[in-house]
């Protein structure tokens, strides 16, 4: 029963999203406001007349917030999946980037700083196809550490002579 209700809600939410983003919905909203404004003299611009539009727009706005959030969540998830597929399919891309949306704000800031640095490095490259990924940077860093250690031990041996 719950699964059936979920599918019913999905269909309703999709249909409502499509409708509310349409020209017909916009024209209907304009028509409602115009009819309300034109009915002002009939109701002597009373507080009840004002309350009708205020209540109606408040309820619609309240419901639309949830509908918009649902649509954005679905779109965001679809975009993330598409990006994950591109990362997974590209031989030189870092698979560590898959699902980074689950990282904390601080971790994302660290990655951002890393990519700012990569951007600066790429501006210095003459080959526009030169790749600078997290994995490539990690490999280079490991090589530097090994070189430094072996160089340090060589220097130490030379100092002993």
pLDDT score for 23? 97
pLDDT score for 138? 67
- Rounded to whole angstroms, the Cα distance separating 11 from 71 reads 12
- The answer to whether residue 55 sits within a structural domain is yes
pTM, two decimals, is 0.61
- Rounded to whole angstroms, the Cα distance separating 26 from 131 reads 47
- Segment holding 102, helix H or strand E: none
More confident residue, 95 or 57: 57
Contacts of residue 136, defined as CB under 8 A and 6 or more positions apart, other chains included, come to 92
If DSSP codes are grouped into helix, strand and coil, which group holds residue 79? helix
What's the mean pLDDT in 121-150?
70
The pair of structure tokens assigned to 157 is 């041996």
pLDDT score for 155? 44
Overall number of domains in the chain: 1
Give me the domain span that covers residue 47.
Answer: 1-89
- The answer to whether residue 20 sits within a structural domain is yes
């Amino acid at each position: 029963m719950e699964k059936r209700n979920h599918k019913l809600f999905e269909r309703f939410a999709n249909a409502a999203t499509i409708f509310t983003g349409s020209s017909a919905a916009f024209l209907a909203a304009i028509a409602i406001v115009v009819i309300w404004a034109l009915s002002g003299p009939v109701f002597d611009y009373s507080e009840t007349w004002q309350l009708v539009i205020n209540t109606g727009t408040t309820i619609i706005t309240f419901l639309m917030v949830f509908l918009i959030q649902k649509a954005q969540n679905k779109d965001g998830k679809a975009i993330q999946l598409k990006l994950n597929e591109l990362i997974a399919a590209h031989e030189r891309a870092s698979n560590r980037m898959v699902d980074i949306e689950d990282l904390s704000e601080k971790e994302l800031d660290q990655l951002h700083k890393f990519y700012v640095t990569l951007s600066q490095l790429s501006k210095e490259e003459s080959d526009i196809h030169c790749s600078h990924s997290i994995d490539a940077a990690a490999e280079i860093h490991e090589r530097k550490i090994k070189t430094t250690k072996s160089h340090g031990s060589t220097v130490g041996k030379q100092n002993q002579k």
